[in-house]
Amino acid sequence: MGLLLPLALCTLVLCCGARSPPQPVLNPWALLSRGCNDSDVLAVADFALRDINKDRKDGYVLSLNRVNDAQEHSQDGLGSLFYLTLDVLETDCHVLSKKAWRVCGMTPFYQSVYGQCKAIFYINKPSRVLYLAAYNCTLRPVSKRKIHRTCPDCPAPISTDLSSDQVLEAATESLAKYNNESTSKQYSLFKVTRASSQWVFGPSYFVEYLIKESPCTKSQISSCSLQSSDSVPAGLCKGSLTRRHWEKFVSVTCDFFESQAPAAGNENSAVNQKPINLSKVEESQQKNTPPTDSPSKAGPRGSVQYLPDLDDKNSQEKDPQEAFPVHLDLTTNPQGETLDLSFLFLEPMEKKVVVLPFPREKAHTAECPGPAQDASPLVLPP
């Protein structure tokens, strides 16, 4: 064994010196290309995306548009690691709502935000373990120019930056209406998350924003100077402000998140180390509620990167392959590295799997990418 590794490295150096781009030296049987419409691949993609959404603190829940690529690395009786490339779309649920992506509504096409996620997902059916080891996503808004061409009158997304007076005004006026109609609790603006404008019978602004609970009650509101101490968003509001001559029309609806307080024992590491009960997951999948106890390691396991619209002048991507750059490498060693997943198992035995660099080449199978929920070229990464 001691001799094998240096030998393998020599071969690698030789091959890389001679050819570019470098090809990782892999056991050609290590990675199995999977069909992107296979039911078990779709199930793994679903679990992975739920865990991605659960891990995030910011932004909208992502839904699966299609599986772009799937490769499986079977781990000698210790389950499998999947290398997934998923084409995703933003929904209208905020991640803090903790709603499962399947129950969320889609945004209208002129407001779509779409992109790609890569995920490394571990599944061990006999031990009933599911684990998102890592993920990264890159998202872009749909091309403004293309939307304008097909729908010149559609609302146009605008920056959620509060320096835009109209956006701020639409948010504060619609929230004031909500507070006025609320019987006791009062809310204040936390963050604007989406904004768009359109000419209706006058200029109209549509906003979505997070709110937090204000410490003041309605009876105190005019004299209240209490500062809110906890800054946890309590819900998401959708508001609009339209003007016609001197008249103003304001609308608002708010959705409150389920209590943000951690459920008893949820943050407890002993609980986190319990494997997921797969039948529970399947049950909750049918009920469309998130599974209750998934193991989670401290800290986020990935991030979501937002880039400008592809037609934006600041975003001239020359290579369409690079339009949605997503890097996800737990190792750069082409031989792979061991990943200790013992904490996922109840038995006090060491369980290590081999993780490889994320496959550069997509599998060239006729079955990938799989069928898309929304096959519009506007929202499919090239």
Q: Using CB under 6 A, list all residues that contact ligand NAG.
A: 37, 134, 136, 177, 180, 277, 279-280, 303, 305, 327-330, 371
- At 301, list the tokens: 């396991």
Yes or no: say if 122 and 353 are a contact pair by the CB < 8 Å rule: yes
What is the smallest separation between the CB atom of 145 and ligand NAG, expressed in angstroms? Answer: 26
Q: Which is nearer to ligand NAG, 258 or 282 (CB)?
A: 282
Task: Name which of 180 and 269 has its Cβ closer to ligand NAG.
Answer: 180
Q: Please state the closest distance from residue 333 (CB atom) to ligand NAG, in A.
A: 14
Q: Given the complex with ligand NAG, which of 329 and 374 has the nearer CB atom?
A: 329
Q: Does residue 339 contact residue 354 with C-beta atoms inside 8 Å? A: yes
Contact 87, 113 (CB under 8 A): no
Q: Minimum distance between the CB of residue 277 and ligand NAG, rounded to whole angstroms? A: 4
Least separation in angstroms between CB 151 and ligand NAG? 29
Which residue number, 153 or 283, has a Cβ lying nearer to ligand NAG?
A: 283
Instruction: Select 15 or 375, whichever has its Cβ closest to ligand NAG.
Output: 375
Using the minimum distance from each CB to ligand NAG, give the nearer residue, 143 or 277.
277
CB of residue 187 to ligand NAG, shortest distance in Å:
15
Q: What's the closest the beta carbon of residue 180 comes to ligand NAG, in angstroms?
A: 4
